[in-house]
Structures are given as C-alpha cells and as structure tokens.
Structure 1
C-alpha cells in the first residue's frame, strides 16, 4: 500500500451525497461552506462558480472539467456570475421539472458533497487549494469517470449509492494525484514518498505503526546508513523519522478515539505503545491533555458540527 493510498483509505467516509441537476436559466445555487469538499462538473451547457462575496473572480465551468471546492466560505454556482442564488431546498423545488426540458440553454451538472473522517482526511484537504479545476482531455480516465457518474445518475438503479461512492472515490484519487503531481505546494510526505531512498521506510511505518521502529531498522529498509537516512529524511520532511512516526501514530490514535472502535488498551497496541498508561502519557505530551479529555471535547464539537451540516440538493 502506498502512502497516498493509506491516507485516502483511512480518511474515507461512506455516504457521499451526489446529485444530477438540469436547470433552465435563470438559475443559481448557494452551497454552504460547512461541506468539507464539494465536487462539481458540467455535463452539458455552461455554468459559473464563485466564492462568497467575490463574483468578480467567477470561474467558468465547462464540460470535461471537474472543480473541487474545499470547505470554508460559502460558494455559488449559477448560469452567470453574481446571479441570485437559492438555498438547495428552494432551488430543487424551483427546477424540479427542468429535467424534461427541451430548452437548449439548459445546463446539466453534477454536484457532490464528500465527507472525510478524522484528522488524516483533514490533512489531505488542507493540502489542496481552495478551488481546484482539473481538465479531462480525451483519453483521460477522469473523463470516463465523469461520463459514468452522469450515466449512473440519469436513472435510479439498484445499488446506486454504492456505485456512486466508488466512482466518487476514483474521481477524488485522480484529482488529488493530479494536483499533488503538478503542484509545488504538494505535501512534503507526498514528495518524500516518491523518493526511492525514503519510500520503503515510509510505507513500513504506515503499514505497521504499532511496530517498535528504530532509525537503524528504517535505514536498513532504505539501503542507507543510519546517518545518511536520518539526514535525507529530515531534509525531505523537515522532521526526524521518529517525529514523523509519532505524528502518524497520534493521527491514527485521534481517529480511533473519535470513532470509539477501540478502547485505550487496543489503541495503545495499534499505535506502538506497551500499555494504555504509556500511550496516555505520550498522548498528553503531544496534545497537552489526556486522551479521555480529548475524546470528550471532540465528541461535543462533533455534535455541534452535526447540527450545522449541509448537503447539496
């Protein structure tokens, strides 16, 4: 398992919301910034997308492209920049019958809302720009995924939520891989994982975070001396191998605490500590509070966020 795949797999949350819409002009839709990641693509016609309060920098949406928008400010899509935009429920009611329209000016577009789970997912999102548009050339797998999504959404079918979830997974992997590959701001771990001197050690830490890794052991996996490995790792990632391992273990621990799937003993074993007491001490050093306090606070925050969730239409 490569490092990007590991992060994506651990970040994945099922139940993505996706909808295909046909809208005759005039039309406009407001989408709340509480969505962690929105995905938009126009299948036919044209549309425009802009962030809250900034219609002057509107981006044209055209067939064959996919636009991702990170959570934060509200964003809007419409038939022209700066048009009046409706809340999703009102929009859906207003354009409920446009799907049977023969109007050649009608726009057919797909909107998706994607929710990552935990800090590992948040780290992936933080590495993306606020708005990211990807062009799908002829022969690009991205174009095929868009076509499949559109086809699947055209009529309800048995098992459709599962199909849409999987297609959206593929869409996101292609989008993230494309952006990280070309962006100078790609996460340091992504660039380091492409370095043959570091890849084996990084994969090993991800695949078995509970193993008591040492720098000599990781260096041996990389085929380097201990000093050369430690220097190369620090130059690439800005931290020592053990600091990176600890950060990864704590990210995994936070997600276990958040999900409640393991008790402290199980978490300690999963992330490489000999006892729940050793884990609790390490967690306190890293976060400034014990794991139980952190979990309780996170649970209250999640309940507050849940009441503010928004979906597309």
Structure 2
C-alpha cells in the first residue's frame, strides 16, 4: 500500500457536481454551517475567486480551483466574458475536520495544462458536463474524485505545502516513518524505531518531525489513532473493540484521547454520525 492510499482509506471523500454552464455575475459559497469543500473548474473565460480578507485571484485559462475545507468564498464573472464552469461539492466521510483537509491551503489552483493526465481527466469531465450522455451525473462525480486524487499527487510531488500531513508525506526523510504509523496504528511505536526508519538521529528526527508536521511524533500517533477509530466507529463497531484495534488497552484511554481532539466521547461521536 502506498503512502497516499493509506491516507485515503481513512479519510474517505465523495464529490457531487451541482452546476455546469455559464457563470454570469456572482456565485456565493458563504454558508457558515457548511460541511463541504468545493471544486470550481474553469472551462473558458475569466473568473475571479475571492476569500474574505484576501486579495481576489483572477483566472483566465482552464484551471482547477479547489477549496478543501468549508471556506467562505465567492466566484465572479463578467456577463460578457463567456465564462463557463463546473462546480462540485466535496463531502468527507467523517466531516471536514480531518488532517488531510487541514494540511492543505484554504485554496489550491492548478492550470489544467500543467499535466497531460490531469488535462485528459478535465477534458473528459467537460465533455460530460456540456453533453447529454447517459449516466452523465455519475460520471462527472467520479471524475471529480479522480481529479482530487491527481491533485493530491501533484501536491506531494511538487512539495506544495510546508506543514502538516501532506508536507510530511512529501518529505523524503519522514515519509517512511509516517507510512509505518499509518499502516500499523496499534503498534507501540517508540522514537528510536521511527528515527531509524527515517535514517536520522533520534533528537534530529523528533525536531524535524515537529517542524514539518506541526506535532510531536507522539501527538501525531494519537491523532492518527483517533482518525482510524472514527473509521471503525462509522461502521458501527463497539468502542471497546475499536480501542484495542487502535492500540489502547481500554475504552477509557481511547475516550480521553478522543475527547481531547474532538470535544466529545467516541460513543457521542458515533451517535452523531449515525443520526446524520
């Protein structure tokens, strides 16, 4: 299992295209209660994207604009610019507050022509969006999911983030130790083992890990265990079983760590998820 697959197995996501066509005027995505990220694909024309408190960004070539978290923003096009877009929502299985979405900038943009595989996927999506083939909605939704995976590959390969999960996976020294944590969250990892995987001295590894990930190795392991626990809880697993599965001897230890990171107990979180 590669380093990105192990992440996506925990932070499942789905997309839903909700608009295709010409954009005239202002499109607003400022619902404070929103739990979704957004994709805006510019097919042609000129588009202005704006977040409160930041300078507007102008796009005038085919571009993927990705808001991984529920960030208030607007997109605008002049009426005579003949601007065409495809817009989709991004839903995360356990909600948008996860290390994957949190490790990315509030907005990422990639010109469609940056990579030939990326361009092929986008062109296929545009063909579906502005055509009338059978199962059009289903194909568009799946293609948007493929685009996100391609974008994440691009972020890792091009070192586009400085701190957090994606930065750690892009770091040639830390990637092996992080992959090991992801694959075996229940293992009682110690600093010496993780430093050896990174081929670094223990003190240097600890300092570099914290600098890149924004957490100590111990805190990162605890955070990852909570995310793995959420995956099991979503499937209706008992809290006691989940605790053992992620490396804790009893439910009280899991509950303490879980509450420190989510504000609620595993049972409360599971109930909230099931109710939705």
Structure 1 position 39 matched with structure 2 position 33: no
Aligned CA-pair RMSD: 3.6
* Closer, same or farther: CA 197–176 of 1 in aligned 2, 3 Å: closer
Partner residue of 1:272 out of 220, 240, 247: 247
Unmatched tracts of structure 2, length 5 or more: none
Match of 1:167 in 2: 143
Q: Is the 8 A contact 1:41 1:62 kept in 2?
A: no
* Closer, same or farther: CA 279–169 of 1 in aligned 2, 3 Å: same
Match of 1:6 in 2: 6
Structure 1 position 125 matched with structure 2 position 101: yes
How far 1:273 sits from its partner (Å)? 1.8
Cα deviation code 1:139-186 (max 9, x no counterpart)? 543322221101122334445444333321232233344456354x53
Unmatched tracts of structure 1, length 5 or more: 81-103, 304-313
Structure label with greater radius of gyration: 1
Within-5 A mapping of 1:63-74: 63-69=61-67, 70-74=69-73
How far 1:118 sits from its partner (Å)? 2.3
* Closer, same or farther: CA 187–8 of 1 in aligned 2, 3 Å: farther
Count how many residue pairs are aligned between Structure 1 and Structure 2: 272
Match of 1:306 in 2: none
TM-score of the pair, normalised by structure 1: 0.69
| Matched position secondary structure for 1:167 | helix
Q: Is the 8 A contact 1:38 1:113 kept in 2?
A: yes
Q: Which moved more, 1:163-172 or 1:187-196?
A: 187-196
Q: Is the 8 A contact 1:7 1:120 kept in 2?
A: no
| Matched position secondary structure for 1:49 | strand
Moved over 6 A (4+): none
How far 1:113 sits from its partner (Å)? 1.3
Partner residue of 1:135 out of 111, 121, 144: 111
| Matched position secondary structure for 1:118 | coil
- The structure whose RCO (Cα within 8 Å, separation 6+) is larger is 1
| Matched position secondary structure for 1:115 | strand
TM-score of the pair, normalised by structure 2: 0.77
* Closer, same or farther: CA 194–178 of 1 in aligned 2, 3 Å: closer
In structure 1, how many angstroms separate the alpha carbons of the residues matched to 2:211 and 2:81?
54
